[in-house]
Amino acid sequence: MNNEQIILACVDSTAASDAVADYAAWAAHKLQAPMELLHVLDRHVELTAGQDHSGAIGLGAQEKLLAKLSEEDEERTRAARETGRVFLNRLRERAVASGATSVDTRLRHGEVEETLAEQQDRSRLLVIGRAGSTASNQGTGLGKHLEWVVRSVNRPVLVTTDTYSEPGKVLFAFDGSSVTRKGVEMLTGSPLLKGLSLHLLMSGTSNAQSQSQMEWAVQLLKKAGMDVTSEIVAGGPQDAVAHALRTQGFNFLVMGAYSHSPLRGLFMGSKTSEMLKDAKVATLLLR
């Protein structure tokens, strides 16, 4: 892969990774950027069920046992690596079939958090699924690494659903904060959402300030040739966004993360999980 910034898709061995690959391929095609499929294997492959090496052993048997365990560990590691390569090659073929023209794969041993911290500088967009084989809370449908990624990386993060739906009608939760204003400016210079229907939604009181902020955003996006509509609705941002998603047929959401605004509360602790669970659509989190 050259030095061009990539679309970095973080996948695991679950069926939901098909959707991650599909969304990453969509973004790579829209941005005309190379993409990379990253699969991180745990450093310590779990022992098979029934292997119990506890209890007292003689000194002579200890060396044999350690040698056996080392061989078994190497064998499990080789098997996991081979399985991972087959898995990544299948996703690569899927991404190419979906329109991505340059797709690389990367198989790493370690921790997801550390690996993404190392790799994010090479990327312009991170793509990650809501759930995974190591999800710590299956009840919310969110993988255990998701909140860390959203909080820690300095790139936009595309959080995917379990199945792919080509983005067509986009809801932008705009609040006039520096994060969402920067997001507007980013979209005007990016082909990612060009050609799609974009609706700006602001919650709260409609006054001179909010109307001015909305007018600024709309005019900038229209000047960039985007099909954009807007509205300001009463109430809190979480309820306003959830209602719009339920009733207006949007299949893609754009919003800011960690802004100093009413939306900031959506990305603190459990609010992150609640919002993404309610959304049920692919969500682009702006940084």
DSSP conformation letters of 48-77: PTT----S---HHHHHHHHHHHHHHHHHHH
95 and 18 in a single domain? The answer is: yes
Token readout for 60 is 């002579």
140 and 21 in a single domain? The answer is: yes
- Crossing angle of helices 17-31 and 59-97, in 10° steps, is 50
123 and 38 in a single domain? The answer is: yes
Q: Reply yes or no on whether the pLDDT at 142 is more than 50.
A: no
Residue 277, Cα to own-chain centre: how many angstroms? Answer: 14
Which residues 6+ apart lie within 8 Å of 280 measured at CB? Answer: 161, 245
Residue 62 lies in a domain: no
145 and 243 in a single domain? The answer is: no
Q: Reply yes or no on whether the pLDDT at 287 is more than 90.
A: no
Helix (H, G, I), strand (E, B) or coil at 6: strand
144 and 242 in a single domain? The answer is: no
100 and 239 in a single domain? The answer is: no
Residue where the block lists tokens 């991505």: 100
Residue 275 lies in a domain: yes
pTM of the model: 0.81
Confidence band for 183, pLDDT divided at 50, 70 and 90: very high
- Rounded distance between C-alpha atoms, residue 4 and residue 31, angstroms: 12
Residue 164 lies in a domain: no
- Rounded distance between C-alpha atoms, residue 52 and residue 48, angstroms: 9
Which residues 6+ apart lie within 8 Å of 116 measured at CB? Answer: 8, 10, 38, 126, 149, 152, 153
The domain total for the chain is: 2
22 and 113 in a single domain? The answer is: yes
How would DSSP label each residue in 98-163?
TT-S-EEEEEEES-HHHHHHHHGGGEEEEEEES--TT-SBTTTTB-TTHHHHHHH-SS-EEEE-SS
- Where is the domain boundary, 108, 132, 159? 159
16 and 89 in a single domain? The answer is: yes
149 and 94 in a single domain? The answer is: yes
14 and 100 in a single domain? The answer is: yes
191 and 119 in a single domain? The answer is: no
- Rounded distance between C-alpha atoms, residue 219 and residue 225, angstroms: 10
State which residues form the domain around 126: 6-44+80-159
- Where is the domain boundary, 130, 159, 188? 159
Q: What is the mean pLDDT of the chain?
A: 81
User: Which phi and psi angles does 83 have, rounded to 5°?
Assistant: -60, -40
Provide the sign of the torsion angle of the four alpha carbons 140, 141, 144, 148, taken in this order.
negative
pLDDT (tens digit per residue) in 70-100: 666 667 767 777 787 888 999 999 999 988 9
**pLDDT for the residue numbered 30:** 94
pLDDT (tens digit per residue) in 104-121: 999 887 777 778 778 888
CATH number for position 173: 3.40.50.620
- Where is the domain boundary, 122, 137, 159? 159
30 and 138 in a single domain? The answer is: yes
